[in-house]
Amino acid sequence: MSKDTKIRLALAVMVFMMLQAVLFGLGMIAVLYNPNQIGESDFFWIPVIIVASSIISAALSWWIAPHMRARFWRSEGEHSFIKWAGGGRQGSDWGHEHTFSRTPKRDS
């Protein structure tokens, strides 16, 4: 297994756990919130939610993992994440290094 695959797998495992918790919780809320299906049908739907959340989480986490690496955002261009996320200000100098002189400027 290559180094990139190991890193992707490690990231995918971390994302998988969080994503499955959210999807499982949403599925359980959907099943238990419906007052017409309380009882016998829960024995069918709860295992379906467990299996479905596992499969969907595995696929989504494998897709999300490469996007969590800094290399992805560097290849997309400078500050692409900030543009993608809708952040930043128009005309700002975000990300540009400032040079400060060691001696403070004095008012003349």
**What would the pLDDT profile of 57-83 be if each residue is shown by its tens digit?**
999 999 999 888 877 666 666 555 555
pTM of the entire predicted model: 0.61
What average pLDDT does the chain have?
A: 77
More confident residue, 5 or 90: 5
- pLDDT-based confidence at residue 50 (cuts at 50, 70, 90): very high
Predicted pLDDT at 18: 95
**Hey, CA dihedral for 41, 17, 59, 73, is it positive or negative?**
positive
The Cα 32–Cα 96 span in angstroms is 52
Does 3 have pLDDT greater than 90?
Answer: no
Contact, 16 vs 61, CB < 8 A? yes
Does 97 have pLDDT greater than 80?
Answer: no
